[in-house]
Structure 1
């Protein structure tokens, strides 16, 4: 009971801070573009706070996992404030590095250069963070020789319509991987948030040696675009 009360108090304080920040934005001369971006970020934070509290098994677990989730959102916010969008390859490699998983060692990344808009980047960062955390705590990164291959393609490069991005997270080197017994935060991100915000389809396969997660969504202009090595547009529309 004490743990539940402590969690509720923490959540109430965070919600109050969030409300004060919203009022501050409304009463200052913040440019419309920045205000819109900050409101999207705060909406994401509210969802993460609420879902983290609802799915946590203990106050300690709530605090530990919440910090990593908020950091993932903050990294994307800093990048988009600086560059306007986020490179998908960089987003994935940065999230893996937070868990001390280095590309070229335990991770292999491949795919075209894709730039994601802020909201989509925050959602994908959360998804990769949850997949990485799960692989460290329960999956292949907790075992010698455990690896992950992350590959993505964009199909349907048609000037009359958006392409479709398919990303596959494929773990190998695990043992006895089984589906979760409860719907935790990570599963809600993959099964609910990505679908609601990006129109994504997510397929999870719990293979004997690791998890295979496939995420597919339309690469419309509000989500992102493919660029060539020089930064020129190949798919989607520039803002």
Structure 2
């Protein structure tokens, strides 16, 4: 019960941060698009700075991990600035490459073409960064035979209603993987930030050969959209 209350408190703190930023930016009279984009990015950076400080075990650890987290957000932001959306496959493969994990070698990725909106793209970039970092420090990527399979799919949307995006991150080749004794930054991103920002449901399974992380989130317009093989979006309009 205490752990759940702690998680709720962290989510409340994130919401309070966003409320303060909304008030500040609304008062500046900025154009709507710029105001929303800046608000989301500032909120993300504030949350990362605060949570990194709260969970760091040392100043050195804080500095090292903070740089990687900010870089992950910056990479997503660059892609978003170009097109206003970011491709889920590219987001994952780019983050893996930063950690020298090559698709087709130690990583297999599969799923439909998904384009994420700015806030969702930045949050997902941070979550994937934490999964990669954890796999290197504590999981499968710390061993030469370690691999990861990342697959995603969207529920049948024949009813016309938005489906759920389900993404599974499954590590193999690890050894003696166990649930951490304390909830660090990565666990807070997965358990709290994804839930608050994207209404995601997260299931973490610490299996003998590696972590299995399952994310389920509604693929509503504010989060993202599916692009079919013919180059049409979810409404059937050509891109």
TM-score bucket (shorter structure): 0.7 to 0.9
2:37 maps to: 37
Q: Distance in 1 between matches of 2:81 and 2:31?
A: 13
Aligned length, in residue pairs? 218
Q: Distance in 1 between matches of 2:58 and 2:236?
A: 43
Q: Distance in 1 between matches of 2:236 and 2:182?
A: 38
Q: Distance in 1 between matches of 2:204 and 2:95?
A: 20
Q: Which stretch of structure 1 is more off in the superposition, 159-168 or 199-208?
A: 159-168
8 Å contact 1:150–1:170 — kept in the other structure?
Answer: yes
Q: Distance in 2 between matches of 1:80 and 1:31?
A: 18
Q: How does 1:1-239 map to 2 (within 5 A)?
A: 31-234=31-234
Q: Could you list the per-position Cα deviations for residues 182-214 of structure 1 after superposition, in whole angstroms to 9, with x for gaps in the alignment?
A: 010000000011111111110011111000000
8 Å contact 1:157–1:235 — kept in the other structure?
Answer: no
Q: Could you list the per-position Cα deviations for residues 53-73 of structure 1 after superposition, in whole angstroms to 9, with x for gaps in the alignment?
A: 000000000000001111111
Question: How far did residue 229 of structure 1 move?
Answer: 3.1
Change in Cα spacing, 1:28 to 1:237, as seen in structure 2 (3 Å) is: farther
Q: Distance in 1 between matches of 2:127 and 2:101?
A: 16
Change in Cα spacing, 1:145 to 1:236, as seen in structure 2 (3 Å) is: farther
Q: Could you list the per-position Cα deviations for residues 149-206 of structure 1 after superposition, in whole angstroms to 9, with x for gaps in the alignment?
A: 0000000313531110000000000110000010100000000111111111100111
Q: Distance in 2 between matches of 1:231 and 1:48?
A: 35
Q: Could you list the per-position Cα deviations for residues 19-47 of structure 1 after superposition, in whole angstroms to 9, with x for gaps in the alignment?
A: xx99x978988532022101110000000
Q: Give secondary structure in 2 for the equivalent of 1:233.
A: coil
Q: Distance in 2 between matches of 1:153 and 1:120?
A: 17
For structure 1, the residue ranges without an aligned partner over 5 or more in a row are 1-20
1:17 maps to: none
Change in Cα spacing, 1:165 to 1:51, as seen in structure 2 (3 Å) is: same
Q: Distance in 2 between matches of 1:115 and 1:196?
A: 20
For structure 2, the residue ranges without an aligned partner over 5 or more in a row are 1-20
8 Å contact 1:84–1:117 — kept in the other structure?
Answer: yes
Q: Distance in 1 between matches of 2:25 and 2:237?
A: 29
Normalising by structure 2, we get a TM-score of 0.85
Question: How far did residue 111 of structure 1 move?
Answer: 0.2
8 Å contact 1:224–1:236 — kept in the other structure?
Answer: no
8 Å contact 1:202–1:213 — kept in the other structure?
Answer: yes
